[in-house]
Structures are given as C-alpha cells and as structure tokens.
Structure 1
Amino acid sequence: MIDCYFWTTPNGYKVLVFLEEASIPYRIIPINISKGEQFDLKFLQISPNNKIPVVVDHEPKVASGSISIFESGAILLYLAEKTAQFIPTKLAARTEVLKWLFWQVGGLGPMLGQNQHFSQYTSEKIPYAIRRYVNETKRLFKVLNNKLAHCQYICGEYSIADMACYPWVLKHPFLELQIDDFPYLKRWLDELATRPAIIRAYEKGTAINITPTVTEESKKFLFGP
C-alpha cells in the first residue's frame, strides 16, 4: 500500500497520474497547503522541505518497514523502478527518459511556476520579471513542441517523462501564451487528456479540492511574509 500525501498542484498530480496508470493500491492523504498543513511537525518528518507530494511505501521491495520519498521527480523514478513500468530497461532509452524527467523538474516546472507567480499572484507587478518568465515559458514550450514533432510521446513510448510534464503544460491558460502556437505540444496535451488513468487522477483530485490554491489568505503560507 502506498500513502500519497497530496494537494491539487501540478507536482501533486504527477504522482496521482502514475498511481492510476500503474494500478497500484494507494490512499490519498490530503495536505491542504493553502491552510499551512505542510508545516505540521508530523508531516515535516517525511517532508523536511515542507512540500507535497510525498509517498510512503509500506511494502518496499528492498527494505523492512516503510520508506518515504519526497520530491516529485524522485517519487516518479522510485515508483517506475518499483513497478517496472513507464521507464525503459535498456540504458539508452532509460537515459532519454531521465533526461526529460530532469528537464521538467529543473526547468519546466520552476519556470512556469515563476511565470504564474509574477504574472498573477504578486501585488506589485514587475514588468521585467513577467517578461522574463513568460519568454522562458515560451522557449520551453518550443523545446517540447519541437521534440513532439517527431514522436507521439516525449521519449517515443509513454513514460514518466510525459507524466511529469503534462500537469504543468495543462496550466497554459494561465501562462500568458497561446497553446495553438505549439501544435505538436497541443496534440500531445489533447491526447493525454483522454487517457482513462489521467481522467481518474483529476477526478480524484477535484473531489478533494476545487478551490484555488493561491488566495490572499493562503499567500502567507505559500510565499512567506
């Protein structure tokens, strides 16, 4: 059994999508980051960086007892290796998936997050910051669009690289760009939206929370004083 500490953010949905795709028995433990639940001392024992998602595997293959994993990229890699699903076994193909997984966690996610932060959430609008992160988002979308011009999925076969990128690209209506400018990326996005596991993951997420994560009240927990 996997415990998934979750909230309705792109990084949270990455893990939920994998669990649904792999048909792993799991339960969702909501951590309402809008109310500061990520700072609870008990949660900090498994997530010292006070972020979701976290998974606790109560039946690990190589350890007794339970193990916890934080950081969404590390979680996807752990679950892929545990289940031998959605990651190739041959070195070259496996390396290709890892490249794009790390590209997402090191670039796509952080840059899109900064885009939305400066263009929507700050009370002080800083034109340079907005322009900087909108342009970087467009550049990253172009990189992914060019990759998908030659393959159905990011690394040829559906993998954890797709699961990592999908929830972030889905945020495009809030990122000051037009998804139609990236036709191969849009084709990929539309196709993934029809996958039953992804549909189930988002249904389960919206059953937990349909309110915006960022509000005036929640900013003190999410962004600090």
Structure 2
Amino acid sequence: MSTKRTQEEMMNGSVDIAGMKASNEASRYDRLEQLKREKRLAMNRECARVRRRRKKVRMEHLESKVQDLTQANGRLQEENEAMLARVAQLEMEVNRARAQRALGMSANSHMLEASAAAGPSSAHMPPSAASLLGGSNAAGASFDLEALTGIKTGHHGLTHSQQQHKSLVDSATASAAAVLERAEKLRYMEMLQARSSASIFARGRDSPSLETSMPLSGVDSRFASSLLANARSGLFY
C-alpha cells in the first residue's frame, strides 16, 4: 500500500526524497542496533556456557583432590597408630632392660658385700673355688673328702698304700681345684661382661641377658664335681 502510494506520489511529483532518505537511515540504524543486541546476547550465552563448563571441571578436580587427601590422611593415621604401638613396645623393652640391669647391679653389689664381709683380701676378688661346689657343703669339702678316705691332713705314720692313696686323692683334689679355679675365672669374666653389656644396653644397644651369659661355668663345675665324686668313691685304691 505504501509502495503504491509512493509510486503515485512520485507520479504526481509530490514525493519527499529527503524524508525517504531519513527514514531509510533510521530503519538501518534500528537494524544495526538489533543485530548488535542479538550478537551481544549470543556472546553472553556462550560466556555463561563456558563458565559453567569451567566450574564443572574445577569442581571435579577439587573432588578428586579431596578424595586423594582423604586416602592420604587415612594412611597417615594408620602409620601413626603403628608408630605409637612400636613406641609403646620399645618403652616396655627399655623398662624390662632397666629392671634387668637393676637386678644385675643389685646382685653384683650383694656379691661385693659378701666378698667384703669374707675378708679384706677377698673384697676385690671373684668368688672362691670352694664356693662353686655349692651350698653349705662347700666349706667342708676337703674335710669330707679326707673323712671318706680316712686320711687327715698332717697325719704321720701312714702305711705305703695309704700314702699312695693319699697322693692319688691329692692329685684328684688338685685337678678339681684347677678346674674350679678356671670355672671361677670364667664366671668372674662373664660377670664383668654382663655388667658391661648392661651398661651398653642403657645407651640404646642390644646386649645378651644376664641369664644367658654364663654357659661354661656350669660345665666346669659338673666336671670338677665328678672328679671329687670319683675321689670319694675310692676309685684310686
């Protein structure tokens, strides 16, 4: 209708050319504004989509990191519990070692007190060989041996057979005394070694216990006892 009217106006010569140009310019400006608005909306939608995608990726990364940290925390807690258990065990072992050391020191002090009470000369010496025979029979071992054989020390007027028997008994007694002296020295050295091991253990090292530090003295004592038993039973007649 407007086109027909415009044609009629042009035919009649009454068309406003300037107005038409102004109208065309206004409509073109409106179209440009519309295009800019649509383009801006599209860019806003794209930016919002990109932001949502980045936010999703960041949240997934944070969730994965939280899971890793939770697992690492669990492992650290388990290791911490294991270390606490190990510390408790080491404390028990240290307390046990301290108790054993105190027991050994008490036994050594009692031994030194007994040696000091026995005499001034034996205060710094190991236990006597006769004490290794054991019990209250140690003091009268030589007397029992002489009583069994019928020979007294310092007795004169012995027969030849009695003298031979006495020499054999004296030889057996000397052998037993030598063995007992060796056992005595070994036992004294092992006692010193046990005391040294206990002092080393107090500085944080392992050491053999006092119960397992005397494996040889018992063997020598039994061998000496067997020699004395043979002498008492009259095997040298």
TM-score bucket of the superposed structures, by smaller chain: under 0.3
More helix by share: 2
**Is the radius of gyration larger for structure 1 or structure 2?**
2
Which structure is richer in relative contact order (CA contacts within 8 A, separation 6 or more)?
Answer: 1
TM-score by length of 1: 0.27
More strand by share: 1
Q: TM-score, normalised by structure 2?
A: 0.26
